[in-house]
Amino acid sequence: MKLKQISIAIENDPGRLYEVTKALGDAGINLRALTLVETGGGFGVLRLLVSDIGRTRRILMELKMPARVHEVVAAEIEDKPGQLARLLQPLHEAGVNVIYTYAFVRISTGNAVMIFRFSDIDKAVEILQRNGIKLLDAETFGILDTEE
């Protein structure tokens, strides 16, 4: 139930996000989810769920943009008030920290999909599954989950 996510530091300059997304698009890599967060000092962190992890890393290296791969968890919850707090409560009680999260609405279901990086991913997965939270796998996202 863990997904591999690509993280890269990119300069906060005109055209850098375009350069990355164009190179990936030209290579036939589909973006499944992304977030870009400013970190200060003229850089941001671009986090991507992509259709092909290995090819994406190779393309980014060719662009001289070293990428890190992190494990994340995608949880699908109802798009209703209080559902995120319901998901977080047992994690909080177990002392599992959310390092970061981002979200989108899954049009096909109308539910929210929350992408999480946790301080203890294995413990988080076990707690979420025990509490009936639907976790999405790489196949659901159409992610080729191998690295070259």
Residues 97 and 118: beta-carbon distance below 8 Å: yes
pTM for this model (two decimals)? 0.89
Q: Which residues, listed in sequence order, are joined to residue 73 by a DSSP beta bridge? A: 2, 116
Query: pLDDT tens digits for the chain (148 residues)?
Result: 899 999 999 988 889 999 999 999 999 999 999 999 998 888 999 999 999 999 999 999 999 998 999 999 999 999 999 999 999 999 999 999 999 999 998 888 889 999 999 999 999 999 999 999 999 999 888 888 665 4
**Distances from the Cα of 78 to the Cα of 49, 50, 75, 103, angstroms:** 21, 24, 10, 12
Q: Which residues pair with 67 in a beta bridge?
A: 8
Backbone angles phi, psi at 76, to 5 degrees: -105, 125
Q: Hey, what amino acid is at 30?
A: N
